[in-house]
Structure 1
Amino acid sequence: MNNELFEAMDYLEKEKGIDKNLLLEALEAALISAYKKNFNSATNVRVDLNESTGGMHVYACKTVVEEVLDPQEEISLEKAREIDPNYDIDDVLEFEVTPKDFGRIAAQAAKQVVTQRVREAERGVIFNEYVDREEDIMTGIIQRKDNRFTYVNLGKIEARLPIGEQMPTEEYNVHERIKVFITKVENTSKGPQIFVSRTHPGLLKRLFEMEVPEIYDGTVEILSVAREAGDRSKISVYATDEEVDPVGSCVGQRGQRVQTIVNELKGEKIDIVQWSEDPVVYVSNALSPAKVLQVLVDEENKATTVIVPDYQLSLAIGKRGQNARLAAKLTGWKIDIKSESEAVEDGTLAVQQSDADFGEDSFE
């Protein structure tokens, strides 16, 4: 043991942020374990590291007792007082037992401790850096694939994109750049693990925050997202400033803002819906691009009956019921859609209305 070890610890504390005292404590524990293992000792021992001289000493500790039952752990009061007459029962005596060839073992133990602590510290730094990025977007490079994950290099760590979080309309090619949504950051015994998604609704929300300054600065808020990844999504938006058009802000001039997001999601259709506290208006908007004649509201069951022109029925329901399903998920209201002729026939439509346009947009 020499001063080089302590200088190395000083460097690690400064450059890696590893507490030197923790290193010393770990090294002392490792040296005690090495002593007991290599010298077949069950005796309680203490290691003293002298930073100023670079010296190392091992001391065996024995308790003063009236009658010795374990010579390795105990010393009689009579023998203790031969060393120092001031000793009494339950006092602890220390005897230096530093082996002559213990330096080699100590160096090996020191190397193992320092290596382990550096690895743990680096893992801790990576975990702390990425745990703050949960529910955020990062851009990475696809490194490799297997039958469970696509692995994405995010810089200091490789994230896992599970099969179930991959868009069915996308191919993931090695060396391709990709934006991913971080769903979970875990600190495991094998180091930090990051899981990411391409299907999470949060990805769509974050993309709009990146592209629309009004969302980023809080002028426009995204209140709800409903998504069937790779196919179609709906978002509801609201402007805190009455002078601001929330839908127009998200669309951008000539549709440029939303088109950038559509391109990123490989052609996923996006309906931008204006939020309203009035369920009649909100549900009507959510069924975009279909036109709605009337919305009947059942507040108690949080359910609505929506009447649409006959020629709009298939559009309102959507392919395999997708439009109605997304609208219900977006608004949180149950939606039952009827054609105008059906509603007239069963008496649901009380007042004939002309097609109403509640002002929503759909993009692809």
Structure 2
Amino acid sequence: MSSDLLDAMTALEKDKGISKEVLIDALEAALISAYKRNFNQAQNVRVDINEGLGQIKVFARKEIVETVEDQRLQISLEQAKAINPHYELEDTVEIEVTPKNFGRIAAQTAKQVVTQRVREAERGVIFSEYIDREDDIMTGIVQRLDHRYIYVDLGRVEALLPLTEQMPNESYHPHDRIKVYLTKVENTTKGPSIMVSRTHPGLLKRLFELEVPEIFDGTVEIKSIAREAGDRSKIAVHAEDAAVDPVGSCVGQKGARVQTIVNELKGEKIDIVRWSEDPVTYVANSLSPSKVLKVIVDEENKATTVVVPDYQLSLAIGKRGQNARLAAKLTGWKIDIKSESDALEQGLLSESDNHEESLLESEELPSDFDESEEQKSNTEDE
């Protein structure tokens, strides 16, 4: 074995992180294949590579039997004892069968196979690196676009962003830097295949973990996320420590933290609500920014009837029913919204109820939120 080949393996181990042992194993398999193919041998052989001396030897492995039926695979006890008197039946004897011109023929074949194994090993290294990033967020650079995918460079591999995982309010151009969520990492014959998303709720969760230290360290927990990518999302948060305001932590000073996430998602609106184990409170909070007067819970059918002031009915339902739909996804409860006047007619609300008191406990509205404008927008859309 030439010193150049050994030097090349050492360099590959250093530069690409591919174990030298993996390369030696690949080389041994290649040499066995080369021996059998070039010398028309079908016997069981082993290749020994001496790295220090740079020598390659081929040994035929034969089983010791009483009666030899196949001389390529078997040897008699008498012949075996002539080699070593300590051999017994069913032992394996190794006999060197290295051809004189084996080195030149084997080297040509070995280089081809080793190159293939190196490529496979390198793919394995890349796969191992990215499989640990599945369900995580990464920053990539848009490389090119076609009618099916956007190809995003993640460093050592190109990820695929399918059309269905692209945000409808975004346009993508080559060299754009975007954050993507790794949804699937697979090892294929052509190398690692990575699918990414801009619409997955997990992207929103990871962005909050990046921007909100209290979420990253576990002080504040994200309980649930409902998202209609590019338009609106709702996120329910909770803190075990009563002294910690989970909503305020996510919003940040003057809304700085949530605004960073909104900017990354190109203006997607985000409602941050306080989670509660009480379905009445939780459902009321989930319908933010609408005020809620009463929540009637049907535990058996996991359904609720929510009463809101007449002037806030369109706000509670939202554009195309979006606010109610997201609230139902967030809480896992069916939500039927009724106006105050309808609830009175149907006996769901009595005159003695305090109609002015809202059940809403959350604080997600920004300081400059104009409720009348939001309600007007919802009404016009309907």
Aligned equivalents of 2:82, 2:210: Cα separation in 1: 80
1:327 — aligned with what? 327
**1:229-249: CA deviation from partner (whole Å, max 9, x where unpaired):** 111111112233323322222
How far off its partner does 1:88 sit?
Answer: 6.6
Q: Which secondary structure does the structure 2 equivalent of 1:42 belong to?
A: coil
The more displaced of 173-182 and 43-52 is 43-52
TM-score (norm 2): 0.85
Tell which deviates more after alignment, 86-95 or 301-310: 86-95
What is the match of residue 380 of structure 2?
A: none
**Separation in 1, partners of 2:285, 2:118:** 56
Deviation at 1:82, TM superposition (A): 7.2
**What does residue 170 of structure 1 align with?**
170
Q: In 1, distance between residues paired with 2:260 and 2:164? A: 25
Aligned counterpart, 1:225:
225
The answer to whether structure 1 residue 361 and structure 2 residue 378 are counterparts is no
Matches within 5 A, 1:91-102: 94-102=94-102
The C-alpha deviation readout for 1:326-352, integer Å capped at 9, x for no partner, is: 111111221111111111111111325
**SS at 2:156 equivalent:** coil
Name whichever of 209-218 and 73-82 sits farther off.
73-82
Q: Distance in 2 between matches of 1:190 and 1:25?
A: 22
Cα gap change, 1:78 to 1:150, in 2 (>3 Å): same
Q: Which amino acid aligns with 1:348?
A: L
Contact kept? 2:18, 2:125, Cα under 8 Å? no
Task: Map residues 123-138 of structure 1 onto 2, 5 A cutoff.
Answer: 123-138=123-138
Local SS of the residue matching 1:56: strand
User: Which residue pairs with 2:188 in the alignment?
Assistant: 188
- 2:32 touches 2:45 (CA, 8 Å); kept in 1? yes
Is 1:3–1:53's contact at 8 Å kept on the other side of the alignment? no
Which is worse superposed, 311-320 or 350-359?
A: 350-359
Q: How much does 1:154 deviate? A: 0.9
Structure 1 residues 299 and 53: CA distance shift in structure 2, 3 A = same
SS at match of 1:361: coil
Mapping for residues 175-254 of structure 1, pairs under 5 Å: 175-254=175-254
Q: Identity, % of aligned pairs?
A: 71
Question: Residue 60 and residue 280 in structure 1: after superposition, are their counterparts in 2 closer, same or farther (change >3 A)?
Answer: closer
Q: Give the alignment's Cα RMSD to 1 decimal.
A: 2.6
> Which whole-Å CA distance do the structure 2 matches of 1:220 and 1:165 have between them?
28
Give the drift of 1:17: 4.1
- Residues 205-246 of structure 1: per-residue CA shift (max 9 Å, x gap): 111222222322333222111101111111112233323322
Does the aligned pair in 2 maintain the 1:306–1:336 contact within 8 Å? yes
The DSSP-based 3-state class of the residue aligned with 1:209 is helix
Give 1:293 deviation, angstroms.
1.2
Counterpart of 2:306 in structure 1 is: 306
2:60 alignment partner, SS class? strand
Q: 2:298 corresponds to which letter in structure 1?
A: D
Question: Contact conserved, 1:35 with 1:41, CA < 8 A, in 2?
Answer: yes
Amino acid at match of 1:186: E
Contact (CA 8 Å) 1:16, 1:121: kept in 2 or not?
A: no
Q: TM-score, normalised by structure 1?
A: 0.89
- Structure 1 position 83, deviation (Å): 6.9
What CA distance in whole angstroms lies between the structure 2 residues aligned with 1:259 and 1:182? Answer: 23
Deviation for aligned residue 1:31: 1.0
* Separation of aligned partners in 1, 2:55 and 2:174: 53
CA shift for structure 1 position 91: 5.7
1:9-44 C-alpha deviation (Å, 9 max, x unpaired): 344445544443443333222111111111222233
With over 3 angstroms needed to count, the CA separation of the structure-2 counterparts of 1:283 and 1:144, relative to structure 1, is: same
Q: Which amino acid aligns with 2:355?
A: Q
User: What is the alpha-carbon distance in structure 2 between the residues aligned to residue 130 and residue 80 of structure 1?
Assistant: 52
Task: Determine the C-alpha separation between the residues in 1 that align with 2:272 and 2:84.
Answer: 88
Note if contact 1:17-1:121 (Cα within 8 Å) is conserved in structure 2: no
Q: Is the 8 A contact 1:16 1:118 kept in 2?
A: no
CA offsets, 1:154-205, max 9 Å, x none? 1111111111111111112111111111112222232222211111111111
Equivalent position of 1:257 in the other structure? 257
Report the Cα offset of residue 306 of structure 1.
0.6
Number of residue-to-residue matches in the alignment: 364
Instruction: Return the alpha-carbon distance in structure 2 between the equivalents of residues 309 and 58 of structure 1.
Output: 89
5+ unaligned residues in a row in structure 2: which ranges? 370-382
Distance 1:182 1:341 in 2: 48
Q: Is the 8 A contact 1:269 1:362 kept in 2?
A: no
Question: Shift of residue 307 of structure 1?
Answer: 0.6
Does structure 2 retain, via aligned residues, the 8 Å contact 1:292–1:307? yes
